[in-house]
Amino acid sequence: MLAEWRLRLSAGVVGTMAILFVGCAQSGQRGSQPGASGLARIILYCGGGVRAPVTECLRDFERQSGVQVEAIFGPSPRMFDEVRRQHGDVYLAGDIHFIQVAEQQGDVLARQTVCYVVPVIVVSRGNPKKISRISDLGRPGVHFYLIDAKQCQQGLLGERLLAQHGVDVKTVRANRLSELPAGRDIVSMLAAGELDAAILWERGARSLDDRAEVVTSPELTQAACPVAAIILRWCRNRPAADRLLEYLANPVAQRIFRQHGFGLEPPPTSAVGSAEGSAQE
């Protein structure tokens, strides 16, 4: 299977759906600058799927550094819009696309890869439709779940993979379910034959019960997605933001991420491995 993965969490209880959909959570809005105590203060906009490890990291970081971090969590796409509109200091995303957009616009002062997530296909036990690769999801009569791209980075990546492997938009529309019916979950729908497959993050898929099994392949492993933090050019407290990025790369933070099931290195065959590195000035 895939290599060992790293992460850690703390800031409210994360439910099963948050585990399955990295980057999907509620959003909020806040202020900036020094806190009421007079300590240095920065604002972080963060993808909701890493809320648990990031929250745990922030508690330790604040205790060590004396820097107060106001963390706002939500879907990565919405957080990207919010951090620019509200002029937040740091953005942490589960989709490298948003990081690259910010870099292309000249908005990034520094960047730090925090961890990696890997997509997998989940099927019902025994894999009755013999699904082994992304292109199999384009076969007639194969019904699969992939969350809406507007809600989660997982959906964005899944759509890209489908297109890259020859599954056209018309077929995706015919075969895809992007929203689960009220009160239903992926495993029960797989077991009932209402779904044949789902595209999920490996971290969440491994937590499903034995009615489901995970399908991996080189094309999925190579699509491993870096989760990265960036400091924006309008950051009000660069030294404090730098300290946060440095902390996210240290052994304590990395152990937290690993304990929450996130990978600290890309899989050996990952195409993103050589492109992602430490903070860039």
Q: Once rounded to an integer, what is the mean pLDDT over residues 18-29?
A: 40
Hey, what are 112's tokens? 């730090």
Q: What is the pTM of this model?
A: 0.74
Q: Do residues 230 and 85 lie in contact, with contact meaning Cβ atoms separated by under 8 Å?
A: no
Asked if residue 42 has pLDDT above 70, the reply is yes
Provide the mean pLDDT of the chain: 83
Residue 166 has pLDDT above 90, yes or no: yes
pLDDT of residue 34: 53
Pairing verdict, β 225-232 and 108-117: antiparallel
What is d(CA 56, CA 53) in angstroms, rounded to the nearest whole number? 5
- Choose among 114, 117, 71: nearest CA to 276: 114
What is the mean predicted confidence (pLDDT) over 28-43? 59
Give pLDDT, residue 138: 96
For residues 228 and 6, which has the higher predicted lDDT (pLDDT)? 228
Per residue in 59-111, pLDDT (tens digit) is 999 999 999 999 999 988 899 999 999 999 999 987 788 899 999 999 999 99
Q: How far is CA 9 from the centre of its chain?
A: 13
Could you give the percent of the chain with pLDDT greater than 70?
81
Q: Does 52 score more than 80 pLDDT?
A: yes
Architecture of domain 16-116+226-259: 3-Layer(aba) Sandwich (3.40)
Distance between CA atoms of residues 189 and 18, nearest Å = 18
Does the pLDDT at position 19 exceed 50?
no
- Is domain 119-221 in CATH 3.40.190.10, yes or no? yes
The residue type of 64 is Q
- Domain residue limits, the chain: 16-116+226-259, 119-221
* CA 10-33-76 angle, 5° bins: 45
Distance CA 263, CA 120 (A): 14
With contact defined as beta carbons under 8 Å apart, do 267 and 2 qualify?
yes
Same fold, 16-116+226-259 and 119-221: yes
What is each CA distance from 223 to 134, 158, 245, 259, in whole angstroms? 11, 10, 24, 22
Q: Average the pLDDT over 151-161 and give the result.
A: 85
Judge whether residue 140 has pLDDT over 70: yes
The pLDDT score that the predictor gives to residue 183 is: 87
> Is the model more confident about 103 or about 13?
103
Q: Which of 60-64, 192-196, 275-279 has the lowest mean pLDDT?
A: 275-279
DSSP annotation of 7 reads B
Q: How far apart are CA 110 and CA 232, in angstroms?
A: 8
Secondary-structure percent of the chain, ordered helix, strand, coil, rounded to 5: 35, 20, 45
Distance CA 69, CA 75 (A): 19
